[in-house]
Chains A and B, each alone.
Chain A
Amino acid sequence: MRVLIDKKDIGFFFESLKEENTVYGVKQKEPGFYVFDEAETFSDPLDKYTPTLLPPKKYLFPQKETLLKFSTTPSLKVKQLIEFKKQVIFGVRPCDIHGIKLLDKVFTTDHEDKNYTQKRANTIIIGIDCMKPCYKYAYCESVGCLDVEDGFDVLLTDMGDCFYALIGTAQGEAIIRKNARFINANKSDDEKIKCMKEERRGLFENKFATDISNLPLLFKNADNDPVWDELNDRCLGCGRCNIVCPTCYCFDVFDCVDLNMSSGERCRQWDACTLKDFAVVATGENFRSTRGQRLRHRFNRKFNYLMTKHNTSFCVGCGRCSRSCPVKIDVVETVNAVVNNRKTK
């Protein structure tokens, strides 16, 4: 199902969703910098959009969350905590929809992680499609994440005076029927959308020098590539690239005790594989002691390890890590260096 929502009615749709859900939208934090935050009204920058500082991952896999609550007196009692609420994330771009789809895989493969899946099951995703490269760091087209076919409940495309809304799920259809003023789209609208999607192809100057499917093998054979030595000298090991990534999900687990010293919580919190202590074991050995090794690990997770395990790129091309790196380590440059160094061998 697909419908048209007049631009003057999108605010109504947005606000009407707030009756039953917490609604998060894109807000400008500083000129040119956007964040997802609880929003009163629809204020998406649309064609001025650049990726939010943090991806919407934070609403599904919070920066810090409680897993258990315990009390040790008079006798030990432990109960698990799985927190969720009905929420809508409004204005999620294709790269971030892909990011959420990857987290869905991660948190349901091998063992289901209910702290994630319960939040996910109670989340409605309203996407907004991108019709042009949002900023110089983006390379979503190279990793196959410019187009998105599922993973959203509704996907909006800006058609000038209205939004073309593609419905992705039964839940999406239900909210459109209940919360939106709309008219049905017709064949000429479908054609127009198809043309717009064709026109956006090839506009990305920032791109990989090879097809994404070649990367796992190239990275597998690039353990001793000089690029890791070069990055070893530049990387600060600060973990920013991990924190802003829509598909990084490593975490630390620790206990917090209340002042009474008898009750407390077990929490998990985002961790970062580029930080020095990430792989230190009890005896003090560090299996990835250099920054170059840790960055190699991070790149391999995106383009080799997890890509091989789940059969899809674990980088969605949003470019947040390249934008936020204090020493300007760029994903596209790094990948292309690996590709070119392999070619010359």
Chain B
Amino acid sequence: MINNNSLYLPEIARIVSVRQLTEMEKYFEISTEGKKEFSFNPGQFVQLSVFGIGEAPISISSSPFNKDTVGLCIRRMGDVTTAIHKLEIGASVGIRGPLGNGFPVRELKGKDILFIAGGLGLAPLRSMISYVLEKRKDFGRIIILYGTKSPGELLFRDDLETWRQIEDIELIITVNRPDKDWTGRTGVITRFIPSLELEPQNTYALVVGPPVMYKYALLELQEKLIPENNIIMSLERRMKCGVGKCGHCQINGVYVCLDGPEFRYHTLKFLSEAI
């Protein structure tokens, strides 16, 4: 999708819907209005431009079967994401991508999938979860562990409710700091790994969350004897170009934009600066 004749030139796209998910996150649907079909793998990302402010890498949250729009869950953090939060339906933005590789969808077929999402980590995993639900028969067990700091930070509540209703999905939601209305599970997400009964050789763990979560998730997954090849993590790095030139996302010898953003633990364990 990246054209070498215009490596840094974004497509002009329009915001077609905006939904406030939490205090910090909004969900934007963006369309190139038929100029370009948007094909991507779950786990890929785009470089999103607000002209005059800059460009930022954002993972794709929408289903890969919807090729008309691309859905981006954006936390208000830096200059670009703050500017995007001020935009409304109809506003023009720039989009480059999809970039990166995404999850190894074919390899995952027939396997049990354990999704572990911490906080904003649900954003890239939602695309893969949508894929798995669309092709439900192609996969084994589906387990979704999702945790946030507080109940107010839970993303995509409609989806969580839908997933809860689906019988053959095991959904575990937890918050670290419950409020007085919270009736669900509490505690860090990795606490809920030990009680899972998994078939390690047939299970793939897709893990996305803050760096601190990776350390504990890895310990628990290794305790469960999940092979290192089957633990796939998506990494966040600063990116300027998204095409392997600018050097910002480099971790030891790999580029997150070109070689990732998903990495297997058996690759990551040799990268001292990864997590």
Contacts and interface: CB of A to CB of B under 8 A. Distances in A.
Mutual binders A and B = yes
Contact of B245 (A106, A273, A309): A106
B52 A283 contact: no
A251 interface: yes
A254 B7 CA distance: 16
Interface string A284-305: 0101100001000100110011
Contacts of B195: none
Contacts, number: 124
A318 B239 CA distance: 30
* Interface magnitude class on chain B: 35 or more
Contact of A253 (B237, B246, B251, B258): B246
Interface string B97-127: 0000000000000000000000000000000
Given A80-B8, A110-B258, A304-B253, A281 B51 contact: no
A80 B49 CA distance: 14
Nearest to B244: A110
A287 B54 contact: no
B165 interface: no
A283 B5 contact: no
A112 B250 CA distance: 19
B183 interface: no
Q: Which of B2, B240, B245 has the most CB of A within 10 A?
A: B245
B55 interface: yes
B148 interface: no
Contacts of A297: 250, 273
A209 interface: no
A71 B53 CA distance: 13
A229 B12 CA distance: 48
B12 A78 contact: yes
Given A78-B9, A78-B51, A251 B272 contact: no
B244 to A, nearest CB: 5
A280 interface: yes
A262 B56 CA distance: 20
Interface of A: 67-68, 70, 72, 75-76, 78-80, 106-107, 109-115, 223, 249-255, 257, 261, 264, 266, 268, 271, 273, 278-283, 285, 287-288, 293, 297, 300-301, 304-305, 308-309
Given A68-B8, A300-B253, 17 more contacts: A70-B51, A75-B92, A79-B9, A109-B244, A113-B7, A113-B243, A115-B7, A251-B240, A253-B54, A257-B52, A264-B51, A266-B55, A278-B238, A281-B237, A283-B77, A287-B273, A297-B273
Which 7 pairs between the two chains have the least Cβ-Cβ distance? A250-B247, A76-B92, A305-B253, A80-B9, A253-B240, A282-B77, A112-B4
